């Protein structure tokens, strides 16, 4: 087919460029999958959601109701901001429970709004969340924490609660250094932590990024949670890169090979 060969030679560069675009335009890098969580030990629960797509992945313990610790302060703060009396004092206390995990501030708000945690659970469908005798004896799951934060990012991205997570301080009100767990993952912009009074029997962390939310709860110390979180997600792209621009459909040109024929010609022999 001499004519075809002559045309192909003169247009080799643009055709090869099109072929490379077709063959190299891979889909967006894979987000976390269940396989990434397959080896998460039972001591730790991890939940993740990619907010734009709704892609959710959780470990085997993701829906287990565990001590909510100070992560339930997120539910309290959101309720106070949206349904409280609007006082400046309430807002300052709400900011403190998120940014510095102030237990005293949490108790003041819990006494004033004892319905806050359960009302938030009902509103956002947090089926493993419940308030105990007071905020400090509440339970929640990492799936619930992620469900709540993902909903806030989708429907209320200007929420002060998210802004306070993004401006959390390095040292909490009780002197605890806030630097473990989900905070250590790439792309995290803000976090909230929780820990038992003994500091090591159970710990929690929840974090947000531009396009994702992630939470973890561990029966064990902070270092153990960090190790488990990084083992599961440390090497995973949590924020999917933009998908490549689609290659336009090319009209059939007499004498030129089809895309399929072109790819066959360029395939290694």
Please, which residues bridge with residue 209 across strands? 188
Task: Indicate whether 125 and 176 sit together in one domain.
Answer: yes
Report pLDDT for 30. 77
67 plus 151 within the same structural domain: yes
Residues 77 and 133 in one domain: yes
Specify if 47 maps to a domain. yes
- The boundaries of the domain holding residue 73 are 34-233
Angle at 78 between CA 75 and CA 84, to 5 degrees: 115
Give the mean pLDDT per block of 10 residues along the chain (269 residues).
34 43 45 95 98 96 98 98 98 98 98 98 98 96 98 98 98 97 97 95 98 98 98 91 61 66 66
Same domain membership, residue 17 and residue 71: no
Q: Which two tokens stand for residue 153?
A: 């990012």
Are residue 6 and residue 79 in the same domain, yes or no? no
Residues 213 and 194 in one domain: yes
- Does residue 137 lie in a domain region? yes
Q: Which long-range contacts (CB under 8 A, 24 or more apart) does 32-37 make?
A: 32/57, 32/232, 32/233, 32/236, 32/238, 33/57, 36/232, 36/233, 36/236, 37/232
**Using N-to-C axis directions, what is the helix angle for 103-112 and 73-83, rounded to 10°?**
50
Count of C-beta atoms within a 10 Å radius of residue 49: 26
- The pTM assigned to this predicted structure is 0.81
Is there a single domain that holds both residue 156 and residue 132? yes
Question: Do 69 and 47 share a domain, yes or no?
Answer: yes
Regarding whether 117 and 8 lie in a shared domain, the answer is: no
- Asked whether residue 165 is assigned to any structural domain, the reply reads yes
CA dihedral 156, 158, 164, 165 (to 10 degrees): 60
Nearest alpha-carbon partner for 118 in 135, 103, 96: 135
- Backbone φ and ψ for 159, nearest 5 degrees, come out as -55, 135
Q: Read off the CATH number of the domain in which 81 is found.
A: 3.40.710.10
Is residue 239 situated within a structural domain?
A: no
Do residues 37 and 91 touch, judged by C-beta distance below 8 A?
no
Asked whether residue 171 is domain-assigned, the answer is: yes
Query: Count of domains in the chain?
Result: 2
Angstrom distance (rounded) from CA 86 to CA 27 = 47
φ/ψ (deg, to 5) at 249:
-65, 125
Is 240 a domain residue? Answer: no
How many beta carbons lie within 10 A of that of residue 5, not counting itself? 8
CA distances for 116 relative to 130, 163, 164, angstroms: 10, 20, 18
Q: How far apart are CA 155 and CA 164, in angstroms?
A: 17
Write out the two tokens for 79.
């309720």
Which one, of 116, 103, 95, 44, lies nearest residue 70 by Cα? 103
Q: In this structure, is residue 98 part of a structural domain? A: yes
Q: Do 206 and 223 fall into the same domain? A: yes
């Amino acid at each position: 087919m001499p004519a075809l060969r002559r045309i192909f030679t003169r247009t080799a560069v643009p055709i090869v460029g099109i072929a490379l675009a077709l063959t190299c335009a891979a889909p967006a890098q894979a987000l976390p999958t269940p396989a990434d969580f397959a080896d998460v030990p039972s001591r730790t629960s991890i939940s993740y959601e990619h907010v734009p797509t709704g892609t959710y992945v959780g470990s085997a313990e993701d829906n287990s109701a565990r001590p909510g610790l100070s992560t339930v302060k997120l539910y309290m703060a959101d309720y106070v901001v949206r349904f409280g009396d609007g006082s400046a004092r309430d807002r300052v206390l709400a900011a403190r429970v998120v940014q510095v995990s102030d237990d005293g501030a949490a108790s003041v708000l819990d006494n004033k709004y004892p319905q806050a945690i359960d009302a938030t659970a009902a509103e956002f469908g947090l089926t493993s969340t419940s308030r105990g005798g007071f905020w400090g004896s509440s339970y929640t799951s990492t799936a619930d924490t992620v469900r709540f934060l993902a909903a806030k990012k989708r429907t209320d991205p200007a929420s002060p609660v998210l802004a306070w997570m993004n401006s959390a301080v390095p040292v909490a009100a009780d002197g605890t250094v806030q630097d473990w767990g989900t905070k250590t993952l790439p792309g995290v912009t803000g976090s909230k932590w929780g820990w038992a009074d003994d500091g090591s029997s159970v710990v929690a962390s929840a974090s947000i990024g531009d396009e994702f939310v992630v939470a973890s709860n561990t029966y064990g110390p902070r270092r153990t949670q960090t190790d488990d979180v990084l083992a599961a997600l440390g090497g995973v792209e949590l924020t999917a890169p933009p998908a490549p621009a689609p290659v336009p459909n090319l009209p059939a040109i007499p004498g030129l090979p089809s895309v399929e024929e072109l790819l066959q010609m360029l395939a290694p022999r």
